[in-house]
Every structure is written in C-alpha cells, then in structure tokens.
Structure 1
C-alpha cells in the first residue's frame, strides 16, 4: 500500500535533491498548491492513501458495527513503537496530547506539599491540567525561565531548571519539546539527566515532536511523553501517543515511578501503582472501551509512511526549511523579528516564531496583532497561530507578579532571577513536508505586504 521509500544517500544533505524528493512526497496530501498550509501545529493533513483506507474503514464499521476493531491495538502499537524508538509495551494510544498528559499527571503518586517544576513556555491545555492537579493534591507549582535570545545555549536552560529544583520537594519536572509559544526545542536529554540526578520524574508535552523529529524515545531518558498523532504526524484527529518508560534503560536506569492507571478497562492490571516486570502498561492504557478503530489504524498507517520516507530525512528537511525561513525573516524584517533561539542547533525546531513590526510597542499590541493576522488570512489565504497565554498562565491575579505581564504576551521569566520577563506577541508557522523554499518566499512576501498595510 505504501511504497514511497526514502532512497538516496541520507548522509549528505543536498537541498535541490531533497526539495525534488519532498515535492513528490507532497503529492500524497490534498494541500492547496496555491496557498500552502503552514499550520501543522494545529492539525496536519492525512496522506491520501491513509485517508482512502480510513474512509473504507468507517464505511465497513457503519455496515457492521459488531466489528469493533479493524486492527488489533497491539498491532497498531507495534507500528508506532517501531518508528518511535520504543517497545510496544511502552506505547499507548491516546485521544490527543492533553489526554495523555492528563492521564500521566493524575496517575503520579503525589503527596501533599510536593512540587512540580514547569517551564514558562507551556501550552494552555497543559497549564489548565497542571493547575487542577496542583489544587487537588495540594502541590506547589514552581517555574523556570527559558531564555530565548538568538544566542541562547542549551546549558542556560538546564541551569535555569536546576535553580528551580527544591531537593526532596520537587517531584516532577514538566516541559514542552518543542515549546508551542515560541517554537523553541528544549534540551530534553540534558533536562532528563538533570532530573535523574535529583530523583525527579520527567513529563514532556511532545505535541509537536512526533512527525517533526526522528523520535528515539527510549534514548531520551524521559519517563513520560505525550505526543499528538494528528499534528506533524498527520494521523486522524483525536489520536495521540502516550509513552511510558517501562524498563531500566541505558538513558535512564532510575527506578520506575509508581503510576496509577486513571483510565483502563484492564481487570488484571495492578491497582496500587506498581509495575510488575511483565506488565504491558501500554496495553492496559490503550484498553478503555470502543474507540473508533478506523482512527487507530489510520494513525499506524501514517506512522508507516513516515518510516518508509525516513524519519531522519524528514527531520532534516523540516529543520532546513525552518532555518531558511528564519534567514528570510531576518533579511526582510530585521533581527528583532525573530522571537526564538537560532544559534544553538539543539534548540531549533520546525516551528518558527516571529513578529515583523519594527517598534517594541507595536510588537506588544494585541489589537495590531489581530489586524495583521486577519488581513494575512483574508487577503492572502495564510493562517497563523499567534499570541501567548499572557495573563492566563501559571502567574495570575492576585499574585503580585501578574501585573507585570500583558494580554497576549509569552509570560516568560528571567533565567537567573526568575523575575517576570514578558516577551513580544509571537506569530507562529511551521515548515511541514509539503512546502518548499518558493512557498516560504511567497509567504514572507505576503507578510511584508500585510505589514505595510496595517502598520
């Protein structure tokens, strides 16, 4: 069914060859050739072969609803595990990233007065979940700032996190990789090693990780990943991947944390949070009634297409396009326009955050951002993500620091002092596999014209 194999010498990156290859790859998607879709950060596009089989599956189940599973979940989980560098017993199928993260955070064996250490660059859904968990279990939420200067180095972020750790109190370190507000990839391997040193559990929001990067989950040292199946991975909506480290690994040989299953129909799974050696926790977490199995099968098939194309090759193409976009943005609008680290390769992703307005006051004007985004969409057909969580993050009224943030900002903090350090309102776009340099050139030209009309 899927014969779009990688081929070629993946050890040498030749731009013209890669654009030609991915031009062919792009024909598997129903994306418009006129106004390319730059927002896999919200929802990806199912490849046509997957979409066709998905429709057949829905039709088949509609005709015979007794056929609950078109494909056994263990088969789908095996497909996912193969491409994600994990064992099948560590992979569960969730409904989305928020669903996966919620199961993890509510399943951790919390004790009152423990602390959860979070980055300042978290997604609204996860902020909401963390605040509820903290309230329910009597936890303290502590934040560490993520410097986003162009020359920020990964170790600065690690040291910022280190300063936020309270030995004996910090139970969990939570962060996104990449981070949604400004697209920065956080140095997850370094942060995992730091957490292990202090006996801290790591939980990562990887909504934009799967499908963008070449995932080797068992090599990351992270305890829990929540990953979207329908963003960069281009599976159907309402699918996600939950990774639960289920063994002592070279990257992380600390004892497995106790983990209570919040949602599972497995009658034989442990009920006390323990992890027997032969416990297939992925199967237990994937057993929760009768989901639409055409969704699950389609997710596995989308993963197979990525595997055949070569995940390392896809990652390099996406990151190369993002670098090209950053260079063009700086050339057209100036260095101030780029709102993310761009010198350290470890901190780059295929998510680009920018604000083209020349004056700081303009870059912090939410109404101006609304007008820019609306005109870019209406006049040129491009849709962007924009804005930070502003006054609705972890710091909010009546806390004294809340007044130092503003509506629509990224509510960051200084990595050294942890003082509030709000950042400009970001516009965000991605560099998915179906675009090329000409698409980026047209997009930035449209941004330039839009800026001239609304500034």
Structure 2
C-alpha cells in the first residue's frame, strides 16, 4: 500500500513539476529527458510539495544545504528500511547471493549505468566521493617524474591522496589559483579555463588533471566537454573529476556535461540526488584498465590480475575488482536506485536541473539587487552556473560594506538556524585575502525547495543583515 501511495503522489507532483518548468512536451515517466538543462532564461520553479515527499524535513524547516548533505524522500527511506530488514532476516544469503544486496552488485550497477548512459563495467558503487577519488588517485601508477594539476579550491578528497603520493613518491603537484571572487563572478567558461589552464610548458604533458565539476567554495561549474578539450590540448593523459557537487543537480548522462568526457568521475548519492548516506558512484571510462597502469587498492580481487582472464578471454573488469571489497552498504546502494527512480518520475535529470538552477537564480538575483560586489558565484555565463549561490556577508543598509571573516559568516548562519533556515558558511583562498581564507555564505537550492521558501529566506536574511550590523 505504501509503494502504491508513494507512486500516486509522485505522479501528481511530476505533472505539476513538468508543467511549471515548461517542459510538458518533452518528458515521460521512467525515461531520462534528452538535452542539456541549461535553457535561455529560467522558468518559474514548481511549487514542489516538500511535506508530501520529504516529510522528515518538517513543514517549518527550510533546508538550503544540499551541498553538504541531501535529505531523503519518503520512498527512499522506506526502501532503505526494507533492505535493512531483509538483510537482518538472512544476512548470509543477502551478502553472498541476493541480486540487489549481494557483494558483486551487478543489478544495482547495471541500473546506475543505464541512468548515466554507460556500461555496467564502467561503474563501481562506493561509500562516497572520497572513497572513489582515493581508489583512482592511489590506484593509478604515478611516478616521481609525473605531474598532476589541481586548483587551489580542491576538496580534501583530492588533496589527501595526492599528499600521500607526494610523501611516498615525490610526485609533482602543480596548483593553479582561481581568480579573485570579484573577477570570477563575471567570467565565462573560455575566460576561466584559459586563466586556470594556460598553454604553458609547466602544464603541458601532465599525467593528470584533478578538478571539481562544481566547486563547493564558489559554486562555479567547469563544463566537462570544455575541460576535456583543454586536457587534450595540453596533452594531459587523465581527466579525474570530483563530482560531489554535481551528480543529482547536473545531468551528466549526455550533452556537454556527459560523464564520458572524463576518464574517472567520483560522486555521491547522498547530496543532490537525495539518496541514503554512505552511497556513491565511481565511473571508470576504460573498462579494460588493469595493472600496471591501475591497481585495485581497495579490493579482494587483485589476484584476478595475476595472468587471469575471464571466461570469454576478457580481462577482469577493474570496477568489479573494486566492488568486491568485503561487506559494504548494499542496502543503501539499492535504496539509491529509489532516489534515481524518484528523480526520473519527476521528469528526469534535465527538469530537475532546470528547477534547481531556477531557484538558484532567484537567490543570485536577490544578492545582485542589493550588493552586487558581495556575490562570489558566477551569474553571467549559463555554462558556469550551479545550484550553489555563494556570497559574502554585507551590511544591508550600507551594501558596499562587505565582510570576509569567519566570525561574521558563522553569526549569520546561526541567526538563520534559529529561524529554522539552514545554510552554511564556507572558507576559501582568494588573492585579495593576502594569504588568509575568506569566508562567505553558501545557499544550496535543492529539488525539494520552492520559490516561497526562497522568498521567506530572503526576507529573514534582510532582517538579519540589518540587525547584525546595527551600531551598539
């Protein structure tokens, strides 16, 4: 009965969602909508019924922090509980032989692969983005003479394994700095990529480029097709992408953001997709990769590469070796499929992306209307936009008075939280910071948020920005 009720509720919400995002003629149930979601101009967002599908958030709680952790729709929670109950009732069979809960994860990997328009032998299910990136960076056979390019805004999920390699092998890591926030916000993708990755001898011939698809620090998106062209022009062998802030928000199954432009792509199921905690995906483009080019560092199947060939004479798939690593979050992986199904029943990844970007544009327009120089996130170039809106705190009554310290940002976050609104602060390197991190506020507009919630957030933010900077 619960499954039937959830299906009916989703069907009603989907019709409303599609109508309000202006794509009624292009979506149909259970199938991904083709084409890139970045349209010319943003439609009005659907008044999505949060209480109906995300009842655990509560009707009075405005959650604007999907970039840290997503919530879960009721159908995902029910699926997760059902899988846990099944596991508890027969643990051995669940682990060894069950189609959806078993250690090989053939069924779930196949479903995820279809969602991303790739093959099952390209997909390994992981606990999170960090696990996937560590599998890749520590698995590739880097030498001391190799160069790896990163930016100064990368997450520790990239920095940590690279630091291990620097300590162990002397690997050379080249760090490229982002431009100052006031310049970044007005750039287009060509200008930004040329700034980050100029055609120089230092960068040319690097072994790998390790970057984020969407940056948690500023909300800037680096288009995958453009990244691939840059990597090829610089003769870089591997493009390794941290997709923590993209999957579930950006359609990475086709178009200019197609995951196949990358060599390795790691992402979570528990942020923008709104799947269970402890779920993630690792995409490996070359399904035939094997030692000595790549080693399965977290696996129970390294012995498969000791001269072993599969039944058909094919090499053992690397993703299979990485998948079989002992007991993992199989109940969560299976429930992640329900999160994918939920997104599909809303009309597909393109409509979800459009909804998220429409809400994010509302947040950006609000900041621009009062204090344009406070906005960090890009707002002019559609290809750089994401569901993250990052801005520095400012004095509402004196909007040219902008603050960059951690204490001010934290005070505003806490003041909003007292009003049942959750955002977060974020620190990042900026050339104008003179070696000190600058702190900003970050708003994540998830698929469950509405225009009414954004309007209420804006009203409360204005009130707080007036109060907090009043003379004492």
Query: TM-score by structure 1 length?
Result: 0.84
| 3-state SS in 2 of match to 1:155 | helix
Matching residue of 2:213: 177
Matching residue of 2:34: none
Matching residue of 1:342: 379
Which digits, 9 at most, give the CA deviation of each residue in 1:354-382, with x for residues without a partner? 1231478752222222222222222x122
How far the C-alpha of 1:178 sits from its partner, in A, is 0.4
Structure 2 residue 458 is the aligned partner of structure 1 residue 454: no
How far the C-alpha of 1:291 sits from its partner, in A, is 1.4
How far the C-alpha of 1:25 sits from its partner, in A, is 9.4
Matching residue of 1:306: 343
Farther off after superposition, 128-137 or 75-84: 128-137
Which digits, 9 at most, give the CA deviation of each residue in 1:120-165, with x for residues without a partner? 2212343233222222221122122333533201012221213466
How far the C-alpha of 1:390 sits from its partner, in A, is 5.0
Matching residue of 2:434: 404
Question: Does the 8 A contact of 2:371 with 2:400 survive in 1?
Answer: no
| 3-state SS in 2 of match to 1:388 | strand
1:316 to 1:300, Cα distance in 2 relative to 1, 3 A:
same
How far the C-alpha of 1:448 sits from its partner, in A, is 1.4
Matches within 5 A, 1:126-275: 126-147=158-179, 148=181, 149=183, 150-159=185-194, 160-163=196-199, 166=202, 170-197=206-233, 198-216=235-253, 220-246=260-286, 258-266=293-301, 269-270=304-305
How far the C-alpha of 1:56 sits from its partner, in A, is 2.1
Question: Does the 8 A contact of 1:117 with 1:173 survive in 2?
Answer: yes
| 3-state SS in 1 of match to 2:427 | coil
Which digits, 9 at most, give the CA deviation of each residue in 1:377-396, with x for residues without a partner? 22x122222122559xxxxx
1:268 to 1:362, Cα distance in 2 relative to 1, 3 A:
same
Q: What residue ranges of structure 1 are gaps of 5+ in the alignment? A: 249-253, 392-400, 410-424
Matching residue of 1:420: none
Structure 2 counterpart of 1:37, from 63, 74, 78: 63
Q: How many residues align?
A: 421
Structure 2 residue 127 is the aligned partner of structure 1 residue 95: yes
1:433 to 1:364, Cα distance in 2 relative to 1, 3 A:
same
Q: What residue ranges of structure 2 are gaps of 5+ in the alignment? A: 16-23, 28-38
Structure 2 counterpart of 1:436, from 427, 434, 450: 450
| 3-state SS in 1 of match to 2:262 | coil
Structure 2 residue 35 is the aligned partner of structure 1 residue 9: no
1:178 to 1:282, Cα distance in 2 relative to 1, 3 A:
same
Matches within 5 A, 1:19-30: 19-20=46-47, 22-23=48-49, 27-30=53-56
Matching residue of 2:20: none
Question: Does the 8 A contact of 1:113 with 1:139 survive in 2?
Answer: yes
State the alpha-carbon separation in 2 of the partners of residues 261 and 271 from structure 1: 13
Question: Does the 8 A contact of 1:77 with 1:92 survive in 2?
Answer: yes
1:170 to 1:450, Cα distance in 2 relative to 1, 3 A:
same
| 3-state SS in 2 of match to 1:289 | coil
Matches within 5 A, 1:51-62: 51-62=77-88
1:271 to 1:186, Cα distance in 2 relative to 1, 3 A:
farther
